Amino acid sequence: MAGSGPRDYAPYLTFSMAEWARLRADEPMTLEEADIGRLRALNDPISLAEAERVYLPLTRLLSFYVEAVQSIHAASSKFLGHNGAKVPFVIGVAGSVAVGKSTTARILAALLRRWPSSPQVDLVTTDGFLHPNAVLESRGLMQRKGFPESYDRSAFVAFLAAVKSGSPRVTAPTYSHLVYDVVPGAQTVVEKPDILIVEGLNILQPGDLPRTGSPIVFASDFIDFSIYIDADEQVLEEWYVERFLKLRQTAFRDPKSFFRRFSELSEAQAIETATGIWRTINLPNLQRNILPTRGRADLVLKKGADHAIHEVALRKV
């Protein structure tokens, strides 16, 4: 029949900030301005008011999702005759370099820990699953750090599988942004959290399916709710350069910093260097690998040039 078909179907419900903020209902704000100042990243000037508008409705939504997933798990356990022990609810936070993933993950973790049930909430970044610099150098991948092939993806999947299977103690490698490398012997320990937040560039990538049809799992298979932080490419470049200039005056000056040499650059040289890094490494990674996963997220938070979130898109169930 003419005019029928799925062409008008939209997978997301889109909300203005006023519409989204109303969905907070009576969810209380349990953070103060000082908490937000401590949790936000270097170049992400989020305010307490914005945190209320964005993250209180989100935590309310997540409470419903956690309850629903736990109910499904209980039903499955009852059918299989298992003991019905809870498994962690995994939240993924994805998006480009410099978009503010760390701020979102940290504020979300702080709010979730303050739920009336006082859940144990752990936060892990995928940086620890990058191959060490020595491995990347041997494979010619140092200029593709952050690209999917620069990660030990099998180790990351194994980590998530162990967490989801209820293992009492799971460890993840630790990464240092100061030395720009995985720290030998250092570990982040995860001990049966109620909620695990995983933050990283490529966590929503499905990967390639085997032609044989053999079952295969991806990191995204273990994520119960995914969030993508979005912003226009030109805005992201400006934020990256701004952050680089701030780091040039702070962390880059540490004698242990991998980027110590950049602290000696003039402002013009620093802008040129940061712009070059963005356009040759981070932008191609965004365009080829990160942005294509946006449509797989359960929730998309769209930022404007002022760093504030201006629109929220929630995937229809």
Pick from 25, 51, 26: nearest CA to 37: 51
Domain that holds residue 63: 12-204+214-229+295-315
Is pLDDT above 90 for 62? yes
- Contact indicator for 270, 134 with CB cutoff of 8 Å: no
pLDDT of residue 135: 98
- Specify if 91 maps to a domain: yes
In a domain, 302, yes or no: yes
For residue 308, the 8-state DSSP code is -
Predicted pLDDT at 317: 75
The count of structural domains within the chain is 1
Per-chain mean pLDDT for the chain: 93
Assess if residue 169 is contained within a domain: yes
Going by pLDDT thresholds of 50, 70 and 90, the confidence category of residue 6 is low
Average pLDDT over residues 301-316: 96
Is 259 contained in some domain?
Answer: no
Reported as a single tens digit per residue, the pLDDT across 207-242 is: 776 788 887 888 999 999 999 999 999 999 999 999
Query: Does residue 121 register a pLDDT over 90?
Result: yes
Phi, psi of 176 (to 5 degrees): -110, 120
Mean pLDDT of 66-72: 90
CA–centroid distance for 299 within its chain: 12
**Which residue in 82, 99, 79 sits closest to 233, CA to CA?**
99
Question: Is 122 among the domain residues?
Answer: yes
Q: Which helix (H) or strand (E) holds 160?
A: helix 153-164
Share of the chain above pLDDT 70, in %: 97
| Over residues 58-85, mean pLDDT | 89
pLDDT for 1 equals: 43
Higher pLDDT, 85 or 78: 78
Query: What type of residue sits at position 117?
Result: S
Distance CA 156, CA 203 (A): 10
| pLDDT at residue 98, rounded to an integer | 96
**Is position 161 within any domain?**
yes
CATH of the domain at 176: 3.40.50.300
Q: Is residue 264 part of a domain?
A: no
What would the mean pLDDT of 174-183 be, rounded to a whole number? 96
Residue 129 falls inside a structural domain: yes
Q: What is the pLDDT of residue 138?
A: 97
Distance linking the first and last C-alpha atoms of the chain: 27
pLDDT digits (tens, 9 = 90+) for 273-283: 999 999 999 99
